[in-house]
């Protein structure tokens, strides 16, 4: 999965997406859309703005607009329900909540009852389209926002409000890595971009993204390399250098460590034995 500022697209006439599935992994990313993640079975680890938590069945994570978040699967035994919506579609001015803030990002099964029921109704309506679907879904999402704000948000002036500098700096770091992964990047060079010491930046990055800086950088480089292996006939050496690896040898090592097979084997699989 990509690690970046995500720009979501929706079906025509809709500003909401709903999905239920098993197991889920997604590197740190953010978007202005609101994202709700309800665990149905098993456990899933979720990180939001540096706070990481393992959620059990019935527990809910709420990502407000532009929260940096990531997911780590609990395996096929885990099941989840996800609802994502564009704030404007529910009548908000580009971000949610507007004029308030979440009291917390994680909520127990006791607190999520009405919200969980609404999420299930949204999923059922999303999967059964007809001419009235947009109006019904919009109504459900507006109600969802109201119930979330009533139960889970507090005024911006409430005590304990934390400045957004941490989130903003980590978003800048992720954007910089995404834009410059083909260059010779180091933890030190990215730390300078966000005016933090390398040691403190390393801790902040780990907390925010759920993985170390080098693992994160390599994940982005490997994704780009997979695309080149699938869509071009460039040599392994060319692919390695084009994606920011110092050599074909280092690329081979990192690729095999991540996927348990070599770049050449990957290309053969994708081309049905034709290289």
pLDDT at 186: 95
Cα distance between residue 113 and residue 217, in whole Å:
39
Cα distance between residue 102 and residue 110, in whole Å:
17
pLDDT above 80: residue 262:
yes
Backbone angles phi, psi at 61, to 5 degrees: -115, 135
Tell the residue number behind the tokens 């801790």, with chain if given.
203
Domains of the chain from N-terminus onward: 16-155 (2.60.120.280), 165-270 (1.10.10.60)
- Of all residues in the chain, the percent with pLDDT exceeding 70 is 91
Answer whether 119's CB lies under 8 Å from 83's CB.
Answer: yes
Query: Which residue would you say has higher pLDDT here, 74 or 267?
Result: 267
**Residues 6+ positions from 196 with CB-CB distance below 8 Å:** 169, 204
Averaged pLDDT of the chain: 86
pLDDT at 148: 92
pLDDT at 164: 55
Cα distance between residue 233 and residue 179, in whole Å:
24
Tens digit of each residue's pLDDT (9 = 90 or more) over 140-182 = 999 999 999 998 888 866 544 444 567 778 878 888 888 899 9
pLDDT above 60: residue 273:
no
By C-alpha distance, which of 221, 189, 270, 258 is closest to 3? 221
Tens digit of each residue's pLDDT (9 = 90 or more) over 120-133 = 999 999 999 999 99
Highest average pLDDT, of 29-33, 89-93, 244-248, comes from 244-248
In this prediction, residue 275 has a pLDDT band, given cuts at 50, 70 and 90, of very low
Query: Which residue would you say has higher pLDDT here, 91 or 161?
Result: 91
Q: Residue 32 gets which letter from DSSP?
A: S
Tens digit of each residue's pLDDT (9 = 90 or more) over 193-235 = 999 999 999 988 887 777 789 988 998 899 899 999 999 999 9
pLDDT at 134: 96
Tell the residue number behind the tokens 């690729």, with chain if given.
255
pLDDT at 183: 95
Q: Residue 5 gets which letter from DSSP?
A: B
In this prediction, residue 3 has a pLDDT band, given cuts at 50, 70 and 90, of very low
Q: Dig out the tokens for 139 from the structure.
A: 């109504």
Q: Dig out the tokens for 84 from the structure.
A: 């994502």
Residue 91 Cα distances to 106, 140, 141, 146, angstroms: 24, 13, 10, 11
């Amino acid at each position: 999965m990509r690690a970046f500022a995500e720009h979501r697209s929706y079906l025509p006439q809709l500003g909401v997406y709903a999905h239920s599935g098993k197991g889920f992994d997604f590197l740190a990313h953010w978007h202005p859309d609101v994202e709700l993640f309800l665990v149905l079975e098993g456990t899933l680890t979720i990180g939001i703005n540096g706070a990481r938590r393992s959620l059990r069945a019935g527990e809910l994570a709420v990502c407000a607009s532009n929260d940096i978040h990531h997911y780590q699967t609990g395996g096929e035994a885990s099941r989840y329900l996800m609802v994502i919506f564009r704030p404007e579609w529910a009548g908000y001015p580009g971000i949610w909540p507007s004029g308030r803030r979440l009291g917390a990002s994680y909520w127990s099964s006791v607190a999520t009852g009405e919200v969980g029921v609404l999420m299930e109704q949204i999923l059922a309506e999303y999967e059964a389209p007809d001419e009235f679907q947009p109006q019904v879904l919009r109504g459900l999402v507006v109600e969802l926002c109201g119930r979330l704000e009533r139960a889970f948000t507090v005024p911006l002036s409430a005590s304990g409000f934390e400045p957004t500098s941490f989130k903003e700096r980590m978003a800048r770091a992720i954007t910089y890595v995404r834009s410059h992964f083909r260059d010779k990047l180091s933890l030190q060079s990215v730390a300078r971009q966000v005016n933090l010491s390398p040691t403190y930046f390393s801790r902040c990055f780990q907390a925010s993204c759920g993985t170390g800086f080098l693992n994160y950088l390599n994940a982005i480089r490997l994704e780009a390399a997979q695309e080149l292996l699938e869509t071009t006939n460039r040599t392994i050496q060319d692919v390695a250098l084009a994606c920011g690896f110092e050599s074909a040898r280092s690329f081979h090592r990192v690729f095999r460590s991540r996927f348990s097979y070599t770049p050449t084997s990957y290309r053969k699989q994708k081309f049905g034995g034709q290289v």
